[in-house]
Amino acid sequence: MDLDLRKLRYFVAVAEHRHFGRAAQALFIAQPVLSRQIRAFEQELGCRLLTRTTRSVELTSAGQQMYDEARRITTVVDTALRRVHEAERGERRLVIAFSPGLHVSDAIRAFTASHPTVGVDVLPLRWWEQDAPLRDGRAHLGFLRRPFDDSGLRTIPIGHESKVACLPATHPLAGRESLTSADLDGEPVLDARTRRTSSLEEKFELIASGQGIAMVPVSVAGSYSRPDLVHLPVTDAQPVETCLAVPVNGCAGPVPDFLEIATATLRRNSGVPGSDGARASNPVAGEDGGVVADTEGAGEAGRSTGALGQPAFRYTPSAGQGTEVSTGAS
């Protein structure tokens, strides 16, 4: 059978919204039309993709597999069409992906000032698919937080960030000044392995309603402060490593220049000696320092301060301002 791309897009929308009404609104079509298209799609495939109730929609095991495949297919098609149109118009574009809570505005501003003919787009990422846009062509480079699959990618460690526990304000531990990992033993944890959420807002809404807790980087906690949640330092939690990631064969076009300028921007904002007026060498070649991923509030020794006054992000060049570049095994 030939797959209908339109029906694939309809199915992806329903799978992501988990609701026919909201999916129909996002697609700008009537809900009965969407329902008929999904039923026809299931009949063509000969299997059930969705379990419907009066209040929600859930994916069957076949539906989850189809969603994963459909996302890849529609993304590849969209990327190919975009690149064809850009080539026809003679455009040069750079797409920068970034994990929740990371800010790259200073680096982008510096890059566009010296490269006014290159258009820059940003792509917010989901926790469980940080590396996917680098593999399917949606993004040229990304500012990512580990863990992620780094196979086929060149990664540049650029900083470390503290973690905090996000709890509902009514939680028995909410009144503590800080926690240890042992304090959280037995607590239901919301993460990509146990429950995927489509946004940080959804994750924090689940936490506030008592569905679980989450360990999040301190900059993320500070960006989504709300009165029904508390964020407590976990003193023995391992910090989160932030990386710049580029496909192994993707360091071409404007990418090297962006890496160069982003590195210089981080040094300038973090007070690293010898950065004023100096342009960095290409960090992907392993010749220079870290790249800015969160420069808001950068202060001494390359720190930025997040919620609770904790050091949120640290610039971590290696000795002599060199950068260790890790290439994931293919």
Q: 40: domain CATH number?
A: 1.10.10.10
Same domain, 67 and 185: no
pLDDT at 33: 95
Residues 60 and 37 in one domain: yes
Q: How far is residue 193's CA from residue 199's CA, in Å, rounded to a whole number?
A: 15
- Which residue bears the tokens 């593999």? 135
Tokens 């944890």, located at residue: 189
C-alpha 91/C-alpha 1 separation (Å) is 37
Same domain? 111 vs 244: yes
In a domain, 114, yes or no: yes
Do residue 258 and residue 141 come from a single domain? Answer: yes
In this structure, are residues 116 and 211 in contact, taking their beta carbons and an 8 Å threshold? no
- The answer to whether position 321 is within a domain reads yes
Number of folded domains that form the chain = 3
172 plus 281 within the same structural domain: no
Considering the domain architecture, whether residues 119 and 258 belong to the same structural domain is answered as yes
Q: What is the structure's pLDDT at 306?
A: 32
Beta bridge partner(s), residue 189: 213
Sequential pLDDT tens for the chain (330 residues): 778 899 999 999 999 999 999 999 999 999 999 999 999 999 999 999 999 877 778 999 999 999 989 988 888 888 778 778 767 766 678 899 998 777 788 889 999 999 998 989 998 887 777 888 898 888 999 989 888 888 889 888 777 888 999 999 999 999 999 999 999 998 888 876 666 666 777 888 888 888 889 998 888 887 777 899 999 999 999 898 888 888 988 777 888 888 888 777 766 665 444 434 333 333 443 333 333 333 333 322 233 333 333 333 333 333 333 333 333 443
Q: Are residues 9 and 96 part of one domain?
A: no
* H helices present in 278-323, as ranges: none
Say if residue 20 is in the same domain as residue 157.
no
Residue finishing a domain among 49, 74, 99: 74
243 and 127 housed in the same domain: yes
Looking at the domain assignment, is residue 169 inside a domain?
yes
Residues 6+ apart with CB under 8 A from 67: 11, 12, 15, 59
Does any domain span residue 85?
no
Q: Is residue 263 part of a domain?
A: yes
> CA 49, CA 2: separation in Å to the nearest integer?
18
User: Considering 180, 208, 233, which residue would you say is the last residue of a domain?
Assistant: 233
pTM of the model: 0.60
Is 168 inside a domain boundary? yes
Gap between the Cα atoms of 50 and 121, Å rounded:
34
**80: in domain:** no
Same domain, 15 and 147: no
- At residue 77, the pLDDT reads 87
| Tokens matching residue 140 | 């040229």
Domain that holds residue 131: 91-161+239-327
CATH, residue 104: 3.40.190.10
CA 49, 51, 52, 58 torsion-angle sign: negative
User: Do both 223 and 169 map to the same domain?
Assistant: yes
> Could you tell me if 67 and 175 lie in one domain?
no
